[in-house]
């Protein structure tokens, strides 16, 4: 990059060349130069949360007399613009950076300071003003909680509610459609499609409940602990005021951590939430795989349902259509499970007074939340809502299911029932036909006992 395309910025380590049109300064540029690792910058939700936190800190500092009102107002306005996503391109620091996230905190401080300085017509300092009463060590854990909480309540939970509602609607619609149940992938006693889909819906409802419970912990913020948890350089009452200001701008009832040492040295809440995200991923993979099996065929598979045809399924086999949405959802689930493993390893990296894998926790936690939200809506709208039921196929399989003989066990006993089932299977005959030959039960009684609709 030539001199004409850069400007010289200075920090405590000396000078560094920064792109001429960049809002950030020397410390951000050093991080860009030091961490050319993945090309993944910090998630937008995390950057927006930093904006919310910096704005709240400016207002709290002004209220406590720690910042002049005009400086605080300029910082507040600039930070709100960051929170709104107006300057996302000005946050180039790689996820794999310093473990405290100091580079991302200083990136925010520098961008906000420059915007505030331009608006105010006077110098606003990244550390002395924007970072007043703060440390990367309490700002970054706070931004993790704020961003994860907002992603949860504004993104994932509504998406899961939508999926649960769609599943419940289909369960009601198909409550009288009887099919062969399966255990071990083998024919078992009958169930209704409504019961089967209702089980999926309950999985999602349970996932919502678990996330709501664990998500409560995200409302507790480490801000106020500053460098090591003691609150050095923060005004008395600063942490409480910041939490109150965040409530006003986000609508979430944030509050200070009861113990800043725990809030900065450990990321147990993030680990817990990630674990619940993994549980949701497990549920989605189970549902996706059930749909794939039920849709399999159309001739040589189960063929119980037909998922919506969305795109050609093969570059060589004309007419082939694949269950692409369940496959995409299953891949999302696999990614989330891997993300959770990363969060767990990162969570145990709290050495004494600080966790030193904060950026990768933020990245994986927010990516999992976003992926699950998108996958939930896709599964609901492009798979569950539109599949059709092949009732003739269900009926054919049900009529020939030898396991129906289980209903006769209390009358004829397990051993005779097993003999009837084996004979029916071996000869490809209906259970009732064999039972008429092998028992003294009247046909009307057998038809009543072997009616699949009475067994569900």
Cα 410 to chain centroid distance, Å, stands at: 48
In 4-145, the DSSP E strands lie at 6-11, 14-19
Looking at the DSSP assignment, which residues form a beta bridge with residue 19? 6
Per DSSP bridges, beta strands 6-11 and 14-19 are antiparallel
Task: Give catalytic residue positions.
Answer: 184, 314
How many Å apart are CA 178 and CA 192, to the nearest integer? 4
Burial status of residue 339 (CB atoms within 10 A of its CB: 0-12, 13-18, 19 or more): buried
How many Å apart are CA 261 and CA 183, to the nearest integer? 50
How many Å apart are CA 408 and CA 431, to the nearest integer? 11
How many Å apart are CA 28 and CA 12, to the nearest integer? 13
**Smallest Cα–Cα separation from 140: which of 241, 276, 265?**
265
Cα 175 to chain centroid distance, Å, stands at: 30
Task: Report the 10 Å Cβ neighbour count for 300.
Answer: 7
The separation between the first and the last C-alpha atoms of the chain, rounded to the nearest angstrom, is: 73
Task: Report the 10 Å Cβ neighbour count for 96.
Answer: 15
Per-residue DSSP letter, 132? T
Residue 398's contacts (CB-CB under 8 Å, 6 or more residues apart) are: 178, 179, 180, 190, 404, 452
How many Å apart are CA 315 and CA 312, to the nearest integer? 8
Q: Which helix (H) or strand (E) holds 179?
A: strand 178-183
Q: What single string gives the DSSP state of each residue in 326-370?
A: HHHHHHHHHHHHHHHHHHHHHHT-EETTEES-HHHHHHHHHHHHH
Task: Report the 10 Å Cβ neighbour count for 432.
Answer: 19
């Amino acid at each position: 990059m030539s001199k004409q395309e850069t400007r010289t910025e200075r920090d405590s380590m000396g000078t560094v060349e920064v792109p001429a049109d960049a809002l950030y300064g020397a410390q951000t540029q050093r991080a860009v130069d030091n961490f050319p690792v993945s090309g993944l910058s910090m998630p937008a939700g995390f950057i927006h949360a930093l904006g919310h936190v910096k704005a709240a800190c400016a207002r709290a500092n002004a209220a406590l007399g720690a910042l002049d009102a005009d400086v605080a107002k300029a910082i507040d306005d600039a930070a709100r613009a960051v929170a709104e996503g107006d300057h996302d391109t000005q946050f180039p620091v790689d996820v794999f950076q310093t473990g405290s996230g100091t580079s991302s905190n200083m990136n925010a401080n520098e961008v906000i300071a420059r915007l505030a300085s331009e608006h105010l017509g006077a110098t606003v300092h990244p550390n002395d003003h924007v970072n007043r009463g703060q440390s990367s060590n309490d700002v970054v854990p706070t931004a993790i909680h704020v961003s994860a909480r907002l992603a949860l309540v504004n993104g994932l939970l509504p998406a899961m509610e939508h999926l649960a509602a769609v599943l419940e609607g289909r369960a009601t619609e198909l409550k009288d459609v009887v099919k062969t149940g399966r255990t071990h992938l083998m024919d078992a006693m009958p169930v209704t499609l409504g019961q089967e889909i209702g089980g999926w819906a309950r999985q999602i409802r349970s996932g919502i409940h678990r996330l709501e419970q664990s998500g409560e912990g995200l409302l507790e913020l480490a801000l106020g602990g500053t460098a090591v948890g003691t609150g050095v350089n923060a005004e008395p009452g600063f942490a409480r005021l910041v939490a109150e200001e965040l409530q006003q701008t986000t609508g979430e009832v944030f509050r200070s951590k009861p113990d800043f040492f725990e809030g900065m040295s450990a990321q147990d809440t993030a680990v817990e939430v990630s674990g619940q995200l993994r549980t949701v991923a497990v549920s989605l993979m189970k549902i996706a795989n059930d749909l794939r099996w039920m849709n399999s065929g159309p001739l040589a598979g189960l063929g119980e349902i037909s998922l919506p045809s969305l795109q050609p399924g093969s570059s060589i086999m004309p007419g082939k259509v694949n269950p692409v949405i369940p496959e995409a959802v299953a891949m999302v689930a696999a990614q989330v499970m891997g993300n959770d493993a990363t969060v767990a390893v990162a969570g145990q990296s709290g050495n004494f007074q600080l966790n030193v894998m904060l950026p990768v926790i933020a990245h994986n936690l927010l990516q999992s939340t976003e992926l699950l939200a998108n996958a939930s809506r896709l599964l609901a709208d492009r798979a569950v809502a539109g599949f059709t039921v092949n009732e003739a196929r269900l009926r054919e399989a049900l009529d020939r299911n030898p396991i129906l003989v289980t209903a006769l066990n209390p009358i004829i006993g397990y051993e005779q029932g097993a003999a009837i089932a084996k004979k029916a299977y071996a000869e490809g005959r209906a259970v009732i036909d064999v039972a008429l030959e092998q028992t003294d039960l009247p046909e009307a009684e057998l038809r009543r006992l072997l009616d699949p609709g009475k067994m569900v």
